[in-house]
Each structure stands twice: as C-alpha cells, then as structure tokens.
Chain A
Amino acid sequence: MSVDVVLQVVVGGVLLGGLYALVAFGLSLIYGVVRILNFAHGTILAVVGVMASVMFASWQLSPVLIALILVPGVFVIGALFYRGLLRPLERRSPLEATIGTVLVTVGALLILSDVTAVLAGPMQRNILLRAPVIEVGDIIISITQLAILAAIVVLTLAIHVILKTTWFGLAVRAVTQEPVAAELCGARSLGIKTLTFGVGSATVAMAAVLYVLTFPVDPYMGFGLTVKAFTIIVVGGIGNLPGALIVGVLLGVAEGLVGLFWGPEWSPAISVVLLLLILVAFPAGFRWRRA
C-alpha cells in the first residue's frame, strides 16, 4: 500500500470527520444546555440535505444562497420544535419527561424521514459541482473539498468565538456547567434553551449544505449520523468544541483507514465499536483540560 493511497484516504477522512464534528457541535450544545438527547439531530442533516439538493436541482441556486435560505429557516423550526413539543414535557416528573423527550425526538426522526421520502423520494441525492481538482502526485483534492474544509474551519472558529465572547455564549457555557447556578444568576433559562435549540439545529443545517456538496444524502441516513455524533460527544466531552473537532476528525480518518486496510463494509460500524471500546476502557471518561 503506497503512501499516496494512505494520504488520499486521510484527506477524505479529515473532510468527513470535520462534517461529523459540526453535527456533533449542535448536538453537544443542545444536550449541554437543554439536557435533551435529540435523536432527530442527524435526521435534520438528512432532511436539509435533501431540501438543498432539490433546490439546487430545481432552481440552480448557488449553495451559498441555499444555505442563506435554509439555515435561518431551520433555526426557527428548531426553536419552535423545542417550545412547542419539548418544553411542555419539562413540567412532568423527571422519568416521564425523559421518556417523553425520547418519544418526541424519535417520533420526529421517523416522521421527518418518512415525509421527506414521500415528498422527495427515498433515493440518494447531492449537489454535484464539478470543480477543478488539484493533483499532487497521486493525491487528488477537489476545489470543492478545499472549500468545504475551509468552511468547516471558519464555522468552528465562529462557534468558538460566539461561545467565548458573547453573552449568549457565556450563558450557554454557564448553563452547560451548572444549570442551577445559571438560573440563580438570572440567565433566562427558557430564552437560552430556545435559542440554543435554534442555534444547534442551524449548525446541522449548515453542515448539511456542506455535506451534500460531496456526499449524497437520503431521508433515512440521519440516525447513523446521530450515533456518530453521540460517539464524538461522549469521547470529546459535552460542550468541548476542540475535543469534538479532534474526535470527529479521528473518527472520519479511522473510517477511511478501516475501509482501506480491512474493507469498506466495516467502516460504518467503526463509530459504534470505538464508542464501546472507549466506554469499556475509560468508564470514567476523559479529562481533556486540566490546569
């Protein structure tokens, strides 16, 4: 196996892993603040991806414009989804509330997938931009891939800056670490939770538009992504952005290398295997940053 082949696979893995990390950011934000495991999270990527590719195919809109239309839309829908369907459950007993949120989010997953499949068809779709490619030796990188990589970096930095410098970011970090104390300090919990649900959903929508630029989506692929995002969060740590990015990229590269050295049919299983191994080997979790 030549070095070029391995490098080519690593480049692909970094790209895919970066997208996984973006999906995980949103899930991590939402879980950290709202304490709800949103099983429909990955499905948002699937559905938005299908919508984006349909918009591209029907009206030849530029992907940037598609993102500008879909991302705010998903933000609003995410916020409404929380306010309308999940918030009312918080008044119930903790057990009922937990079961209720699982039912609501899993139900949303099924409904979103089926409705999308009925309206747009269950087949795979993407936005295929035949951008020029750069060939370095035997390695091929397309301009689209580079653009996606750049977008992932910019988005990660943007989320980082928002979390570190804005009042919203401060409140999000506070609620993630100490929900009770945050309320003590007057952090408006309903407002922050709603906003977080919107922002978390919008992040996936952004990831979705980037994803369909290289990989196809179908209405039923969401749950697999959600599982990958869970893996990334568990390993990287809730609310830990750099951790999620590192783990996401490692996961993407691991999937590629497993495909290369073992067989691509094993790639999708690697995230679950990884998660199980880590849970067994490090039952107490990781300590990423310690002073």
Chain B
Amino acid sequence: MTLRIDNLHVHYGLSHVIQGITLEAKPGEVVGIFGRNGVGKTTLMKTVAGWVQPSDGAIALDGQPFVGLTPDQICRHGVGFVPEDRRIFPGLTVEENLKLGLMQRNQRSRAGDRDAVARIYERFPRLAERRLQTGTTLSGGEQQMLAMARVMIGEPRLVLIDEPTEGLAPMIVAEIFAIIREMKANGIIVVLVEQNIAGALAVSDRFYAIERGHVVLTGDAGVQQAHDDLMRAISV
C-alpha cells in the first residue's frame, strides 16, 4: 500500500506549475514537502485530492490510479485532505462537520458512526465541549483540530495536510504535530506541506524540496547533513 506519483505535470492556463514531479510514500511514513511560496506545493496536494486535473503523469494509491476521478471519488478511496484554509462548514455545528467526515467511509452503520464520533470526542475534548457550536464560532486552533478530526473520522489511508500550523499558538502547533505522529502510528501515509521546517522535519521520515515545479532534493529527515542541504536548496 503505497502512494506513487509519477512524472506529474500540471498547467494553470499557460503556466506550467508542476513540471514532472515523481514521489513515493509508504504506509506509516510522513513525507514533508518544502519550498518557497508559489513553487507548486499546494497545487501538488490539490492535484492528488482531485481538485486540479493534471495535464500528464500518474497518481496511484496502492496501484489504484486516481487521475480523472472527482474529489468525492478520490475521497472515498481513502484520501483525506486538510486544506490550508481548513474549509470548515461555517453554519454547521462541530458534530455535523464530523458527521460529514463519516461520509468518506465506504461501510457504515449507526453504531459504527456513533463509536467513531465518540472516539473523536475522547481524543479532542475541546471539540466535545463545543459539539453544538457552529464552525464560525471556533478559534483558529479549534478549527484546525476540527479539520483534522473530520479527516481522521473517515479512516483514510492517505492524509494530505497543507500548512496546518500557520498563525497558530505554539501549544496548538505542538498538539498538531502530535496528531500527525498518531496518524503515522496508525499506518497512515501523511504528506505534509509546512513552512515551519524544523517542526515538520521532526515528525517527517523523508522530505522533498521543490523549486519551480521540480523536485530539487530529496532526503532522509533524520540526517543532519540533509537538513543543511535542504535549507540551502530552498533559500536560493
């Protein structure tokens, strides 16, 4: 069960945003994607999630090709996406937001749904406290928690997380990285785009540095030399 992205190309009109990216990730692996603003990191995530159609190349999870599927179909194949702007449903309650996450599951039962919600509340007591509040009344940190919880409740095999800690307090940032570690421990593939490079490298197994739509460097997150190379590669 692996994620395989092969020679992916994406165009926005005339601009060639992703120019042949190849990437691989195994279950229980956290892959960090780094690069300056506008190099195509978010586009890469959106393409995997099905929001953007690639002009060439292949994406497959566990040998199952994704290209051409709609976002909701890809979602049902076990891909969870936490976008940068979180996309919480503003007028729905916390609980309703979570229930929508359940729609990602292929097999459902009343009891199973109830258990899943209960488990999420156990893990996120803050959300349990606010279960009947609407999305707009949550703080930024709470919204991020909700966005991640909404993905987790769907029992995904692959989670794409785009800039989860941006603008959040250090305590909440630590909490978010802790959640990512839990995902990893559960055998989920995590692809993480993050500006907080130090924090992200600490939870990542491997990283990819992207520059103008190309992968310019890959490396092992545990090796100090690779860190230095990464900093050099993306600060040019």
Contact = CB atoms under 8 A, between A and B. Distances in A.
Interface of A: 167, 170-171, 173-174, 177-178, 180-190, 291
B143 to A, nearest CB: 12
A188 B73 CA distance: 8
B104 A186 contact: yes
A171 B100 contact: yes
Nearest to B50: A183
Contacts, number: 70
B137 A291 contact: yes
Contacts of A186: 72, 75-76, 103-104, 154
B16 to A, nearest CB: 20
B99 A170 contact: yes
B81 interface: yes
Nearest to A240: B91
B27 interface: no
A171 B100 CA distance: 7
B89 A174 contact: yes
10 contacts: A167-B99, A174-B92, A177-B92, A183-B70, A183-B72, A184-B71, A184-B81, A185-B75, A186-B75, A291-B137
Given A291-B136, A291-B137, A185 B91 contact: no
Contact of A185 (B90, B103, B137): B103
Contacts of B89: 173-174, 177-178, 181-182
B83 interface: yes
Contacts of A177: 89-92
Interface of B: 49, 51, 70-72, 75-76, 81, 83, 87-92, 96, 99-101, 103-104, 133-134, 136-137, 150, 154
Contact of A173 (B71, B87, B91, B137): B91
B89 to A, nearest CB: 5
Contacts of B88: 178, 181
Contacts of B137: 291
A96 B126 CA distance: 46
A178 B150 CA distance: 14
Chief secondary structure at chain A's binding surface: helix
Contacts of B103: 167, 171, 185-188
A189 B71 CA distance: 9
A90 B92 CA distance: 27
Nearest to A191: B72
A170 B103 CA distance: 11
B79 to A, nearest CB: 9
A191 to B, nearest CB: 9
Contacts of B75: 183-186
Contacts of B70: 183, 189-190
Nearest to A291: B137
B100 A174 contact: yes
Contacts of A174: 89, 92, 96, 100
A182 B97 CA distance: 10
Contacts of B134: 291
A283 to B, nearest CB: 21
Given A181-B87, A184-B83, A186-B154, A170 B96 contact: yes
Nearest to B113: A167
Contact of B92 (A173, A188, A189): A173
A178 B88 CA distance: 8
Nearest to B134: A291
A183 B137 CA distance: 23
A173 B136 CA distance: 15
Contacts of B92: 170, 173-174, 177
A184 B99 contact: no
A252 B37 CA distance: 54
A185 B136 contact: no
Contacts of A190: 70
A173 B93 CA distance: 11
Contacts of B90: 177-178
